[in-house]
Amino acid sequence: MTPLKKIPIECRSIGLSYDGGKTEVLKDISLRIEPGEFFALLGPSGSGKSTLLRLIAGFNRHQRGELLVDGRDISATPPHARNIGMVFQSYALWPHMTVWDNVAFGLVERRMSKAVIKQKVGAALELVGLSQYAQRRPGQLSGGQQQRVALARTIVIEPQVLLLDEPLSNLDKTLRVQMRQELLALQRQLGITTVFVTHDQEEAMTTADRMAVMEGGVVQQVGTPAALFDYPVNAFVAGFVGTTNLVQGEIAAGTGNSLSFRAPALGELALPATSADALPGKATLSFRPHTVKVARVGDACEHRYFWLDGKVEHGEFLGEFVRYHVRVGTMLFAADQLHHASMPGFTTASPIRLGIDVSQIRILAA
C-alpha cells in the first residue's frame, strides 16, 4: 500500500454534555494533532478519552466548539462520510466470514470492482503478515492475529485518520509489547495520522510522538512523553505518568536564586528558583523514585543530596530494580535501587537514608 496523505486534526473549544447539559463529559477541549503524528489520549476510566475518540469518529456529537480534519470542520458530517477508520477494543470482526471477506467488507460496500478489491485486500493482508490466513475465520486465529485482521480491514479503505480504541487491552503482556511495536511500525510506514486511546502509561509512552493526559473531561497537559514525565504541570499528571513522591507544603519568599519550601515531612528545604510559577504560598513537590538515592545509615553521603532518615516498611522486587517504601515521620516515600545478582537489600524495619536530588524536584501548584 502506498503512504497515505498526512493531515492534521484540531479540536477548538469542544464541549459535550449529556442529560440536557447536566452531565458535562468534555470541557473546553482544545488541541491540535499534527499531520502523520501518532498521538495518544491517556487517562483513567471516565476521563473522557474514549468519548473524545468517538467524537472524532462521529459516534458522539459535541454541542460546542469545532472539530477540524485537514482544515475542514466536520462537526455536522455523519460517520460514514468522514473517511475515518477505527479499530475497536473488541475488534468487531464478522465471525461467519473469512479473513479475506472481513477485510474486503468496506470495499464491497463501496461497490469497488472485483479487480480493485482483490488488489487492495491482498496488499492489506500482506502488510499485516496474514496473507496465508486469508481463508480462515476469526475464531481460528489468535488474539494478535485477530487484531491484525481488524487493522487490515480499517486501512484497506485508505482512511484519512486511524483511530485506535484500547486495541491491546485484550492481549497478554508479551503480545501487547509485540503488537504495539508492530502498530507503530505500520503507522510509520503508512504515514497516517493516528489517535490511540489507552489507560496504560507504558503503551502511551512507548508509542506516542505526543500525548494528552485527560482527567474529568479536561486536557490536563499535552506534550512528548519525556516532557510530561520530567515536567508535569500538576499532581495528577505527575502521579499518572509514572510513579512519583508528592509532598505538600508551603513556599516562602526566597533570596537570590533560591526559595524556601517548608513541609512537616521535610522541614525546610532550599530549592533553586527556576519556576515562574513558584510563588509564595501552598505548593506540592514531586520527585520520582528512581531519582532518590538509597544509603545505609553511616555511609558517606554526597552533599548534592538532601538526606532524610527513615525505616523500610516493605520492598517490591521488580526485576531490574527494587522499590522500597520508606517511612519518614508521617510520610511514606518510594525509592528505587537498581538490582544486581547477589546484591544485599534492605529488610523490613531496616533504618535507611534517602538522598533527594534537589535538581530533580519539580514544584507543582497545590
Taking the C-alpha atoms of residue 251 and residue 276, their distance in angstroms, rounded to an integer, is 13
> Which of residues 44 and 256 earns the better pLDDT score?
44
Reported as a pLDDT band with limits 50, 70 and 90, residue 231 is: very high
Residue 184 clears pLDDT 80, i.e. is over it = yes
Q: What is this structure's pTM?
A: 0.90
- Of 2.40.40.20, 2.40.50.140, 2.60.40.10, 1.10.3430.10, which CATH number belongs to 243-365? 2.40.50.140
Long-range contacts of 301-305 (CB under 8 A, 24+ apart): 301/353, 301/355, 302/355, 304/357, 304/358, 304/359, 305/355, 305/356, 305/357, 305/358
Per the structure block, which three cell numbers stand in for 330?
508521617
pLDDT digits (tens, 9 = 90+) for 95-154: 999 999 999 998 998 889 999 999 999 999 998 889 999 999 999 999 889 988 999 999
Domain parsing of the chain, residue ranges: 9-235, 243-365
Topology of the domain comprising 9-235: Rossmann fold (3.40.50)
* Half-sphere exposure (Cβ direction) of 102: Cα atoms closer than 13 Å: 28
Query: Could you count the other beta carbons within 10 Å of the beta carbon of residue 316?
Result: 11
Average pLDDT on 300-324 reads: 90
Given this chain, do its domains 9-235 and 243-365 carry the same CATH topology? no
Residue 254, pLDDT score: 61
pLDDT reported for residue 5: 74
Percent of the chain whose pLDDT exceeds 90: 65
**Mean pLDDT on 170-196:** 88
Helices (H), 201-263: 201-207, 225-230, 235-240
Predicted confidence (pLDDT) at residue 340 exceeds the cutoff of 80: yes
Q: N- to C-terminal Cα distance for the chain?
A: 51
What's the pLDDT band for 22 if we cut at 50, 70, 90? Answer: confident
Beta carbons of 249 and 261 less than 8 angstroms apart: yes
pLDDT per residue over 54-80, tens digit each?
Answer: 999 999 999 999 999 999 999 999 998
Q: Over 60: is that where the pLDDT of 275 sits?
A: no
349-363 pLDDT tens trace: 999 999 998 889 998
Which of the four pLDDT bands, split at 50, 70 and 90, describes residue 164? very high
Task: Pick 176 or 225 by higher pLDDT.
Answer: 225
The answer for residues whose C-beta is within 8 angstroms of residue 5's C-beta and 6 or more apart is: 160
Task: Write down the pLDDT at residue 1.
Answer: 60
Sheet containing 351-357: order of strands: 292-295, 351-357, 305-317, 321-328, 331-338
- pLDDT value of residue 256: 62
Regarding predicted confidence, which is higher, 173 or 116? 116
Across 188-194, average pLDDT: 92
Q: Are 91 and 97 in contact (CB under 8 A)?
A: no
Question: What gap in Å lies between CA 244 and CA 180, rounded to an integer?
Answer: 25
Question: What was the pLDDT predicted at 276?
Answer: 47
Give the pLDDT band of residue 329 (cuts 50, 70, 90).
Answer: confident
- The confidence score (pLDDT) of residue 55 equals 96
Q: What is the mean pLDDT of the chain?
A: 90
